[in-house]
Structures are given as structure tokens and as C-alpha cells.
């Protein structure tokens, strides 16, 4: 039985209330860690201001989240020096299964999965950096250069040989994908192909009041979306600015922090709280 695909949607202005690059980086680090802890498959960054070009904000968030998700041994090969990565050193490590600490060939095991990047082509095939002392070989395949690939270790005796792997075949959690949504929140919900869409809002119905109905739909769904609002406007306001009714375009609007003790709950705080509560109720 295949695992459900679980996506979260965060707004482009998620760090708009944080002026300094260092603090923005810290906030994105919290989001990336929360996504990995709760095994989120995809983080979608959507524009939440219809009349403002938010491409730069989306690029910034996507770059940091992608950097976090990339194994440390591949980062220098896949990321150039960028101003937005100035404080990347304070991003917390994910420590997910696809971020192995082992850097030694002698500790590799046949059947082990690794992330790699293509280095060069030879008569035998393509050489790939998989984070150990010497490149691994994918035999009889000529792959594009500087391309990230997922591989499975086939041989570790005379030389390390690997084969291309499909991430869907890996039994462990293998990180999240980052998607930059060019369209509006409403368009994302309508055209995203999700079987179940859930919006979070302090004006929503407490989760406990709809847990049974939500559970029924959760069991049948293969693709689930959990969406979050922005620091200055929630999902009701974002939908209204697009001429839409939030209650009409999503399946559920839930409040995962009823009786909150603060006037506002930051997006990254709502994300952690919501994922924790949903994980307890439904598991994903």
C-alpha cells in the first residue's frame, strides 16, 4: 500500500514580518525542520498578494528550503554563492535518512539508498558523487552533468557501483520537494489535484468538532493539502482578496489551536502545532 502524499502550502510573505536576513533564515529553518519531523512530502510556496509581484520572496524561501533538504555533501556542487545563503550556516540539520553521516566506502551497504550528483562521463558509464571518498559508477548510462539523482548501492567490493532509484520505492522518509506556485492560492487549491484540502484559521472549526468527518475523508485521500495563512492576513482574507470564499474552495477550515492565549499565532508556530495535532489524530 503506497503512502499518502502530504503537502503543505505556505505564503510568500511568511517572513515579511521579519526584517533581518538572519532572522528570516531562522524562521525558514523552523519550517524546514517541522516539515521533516512530520514527514511532509512537499512544501508549496504560493503568492498571497494578488497585486504584488512576489517572485523574489518565493525564490528566497525556496532556495533556503531546498538548501536545507539537500544532503550536506552535495551542497557545494549544487548551490552557488548567493546573498540569500549568507546565514545558511545557522539552518538546523534535518538529520533525515537521506542525510547520512557516513562518509566512508567501507561503511556502505549493498541495498543502501543515497542522494548523488553526476560528475563526469566515462566509457563505462557515469561517475556520481554520493558523499564517500571516491565517485560511484552507474554502469552503461550516460547522464546529464551536475544533475541530482537518487541511487541504490549495488556493489562495494572493487569499486562502488550504484543504480538509479525511484524515490517512491524507498521505504524511509526521503525529504520534501519544494514547489514554487506561480498562481494564486485559489488556483492552487482548485488545480492542484488534491483529494483533500484543509485550511487552517483561528476562525475555523476546532479540529475535535470535525475529527470524525475529516477522518473519513482522510482515509480515502491519496493527496492531501494543508494550507497556512500569512503574518498580516489569514486564509479567509487571502481568499476574499481573490474574490473567493474559503469555505467553498476547501474541504475543511480548522482551528488547531482553540483558545489560543496570544492575539496572533505566527505561521511557523501554527505549522508546528497543526502538524503535531494532525499527526496524533491521523498519522501521515
Quick check: is 100 in a domain?
A: no
**Total of domains in the chain:** 2
Is residue 138 in a domain? yes
The CATH number given to whatever domain includes residue 91 is: 3.40.1280.10
Count of Cβ atoms closer than 10 Å to residue 183 Cβ: 12
Range of the domain at 151: 105-166
Looking at residue 1, its pLDDT comes to 44
Domain finish residue from 138, 166, 194: 166
Task: Tell me: do 185 and 265 sit in the same domain.
Answer: yes
What angle, 0 to 180 degrees and rounded to 10, lies between the N-to-C axes of helices 267-282 and 21-37? 0
Asked whether residue 35 is assigned to any structural domain, the reply reads yes
Q: Does residue 46 belong to any structural domain of this protein? A: yes
Mean pLDDT, range 249-264, rounded to an integer: 93
Instruction: Give the Cα separation of 170 and 213 in Å (integer).
Output: 31
Look-up of cell digits 512576489: 54
Last residue of a domain, one of 134, 166, 198: 166
pTM for this prediction: 0.94
Query: Do 61 and 124 sit in the same domain of this protein?
Result: no
The last residue of a domain, from among 136, 166, 196: 166
**CATH number of residue 121's parent domain:** 2.40.50.140
Give a yes or no: residue 209 inside a domain: yes
**pLDDT tens profile 133-147:** 999 999 999 999 999
Residue range 146-190, pLDDT digits in tens: 999 999 999 998 899 999 999 989 999 999 999 999 999 999 998
Tell whether 74 and 207 lie within a shared domain: yes
Please, what is the average pLDDT of the chain? 94
Amino acid at each position: 500500500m503506497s503512502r499518502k502524499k502530504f503537502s503543505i502550502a505556505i505564503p510568500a510573505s511568511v517572513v515579511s514580518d521579519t526584517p533581518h536576513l538572519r532572522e528570516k533564515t531562522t524562521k525558514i529553518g523552523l519550517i524546514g525542520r517541522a516539515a521533516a519531523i512530520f514527514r511532509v512530502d512537499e512544501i508549496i510556496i504560493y503568492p498571497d498578494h494578488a497585486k504584488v509581484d512576489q517572485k523574489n520572496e518565493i525564490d528566497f524561501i525556496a532556495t533556503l528550503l531546498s538548501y536545507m533538504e539537500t544532503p550536506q555533501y552535495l551542497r557545494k556542487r549544487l548551490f552557488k554563492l548567493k546573498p540569500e545563503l549568507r546565514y545558511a550556516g545557522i539552518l538546523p540539520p534535518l538529520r533525515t535518512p537521506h542525510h547520512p553521516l557516513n562518509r566512508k566506502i567501507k561503511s556502505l551497504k549493498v541495498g543502501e539508498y543515497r542522494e548523488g550528483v553526476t560528475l563526469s562521463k566515462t566509457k563505462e558509464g557515469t561517475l556520481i558523487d554520493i558523499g564517500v571518498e571516491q565517485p560511484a559508477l552507474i554502469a552503461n548510462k550516460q547522464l546529464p552533468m551536475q544533475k541530482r539523482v537518487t541511487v541504490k548501492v549495488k556493489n562495494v567490493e572493487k569499486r562502488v557501483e550504484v543504480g538509479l532509484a525511484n524515490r517512491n520505492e524507498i521505504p524511509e522518509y526521503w525529504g520534501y520537494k519544494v514547489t514554487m506556485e506561480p498562481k494564486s492560492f485559489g488556483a492552487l487549491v482548485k488545480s492542484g489535484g488534491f483529494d483533500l484540502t484543509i485550511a487552517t484559521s483561528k476562525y475555523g472549526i476546532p479540529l475535535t468538532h470535525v475529527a470524525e468527518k475529516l477522518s473519513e475523508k482522510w482515509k480515502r485521500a491519496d493527496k492531501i493539502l494543508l494550507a497556512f495563512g500569512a503574518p498580516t492576513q489569514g486564509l479567509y482574507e487571502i481568499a476574499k482578496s481573490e474574490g473567493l470564499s474559503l469555505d467553498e474552495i476547501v474541504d475543511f477550515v480548522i482551528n488547531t489551536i482553540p483558545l489560543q492565549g496570544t492575539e496572533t499565532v505566527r505561521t511557523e508556530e501554527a505549522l508546528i502545532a497543526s502538524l503535531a495535532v494532525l499527526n496524533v489524530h491521523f498519522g501521515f
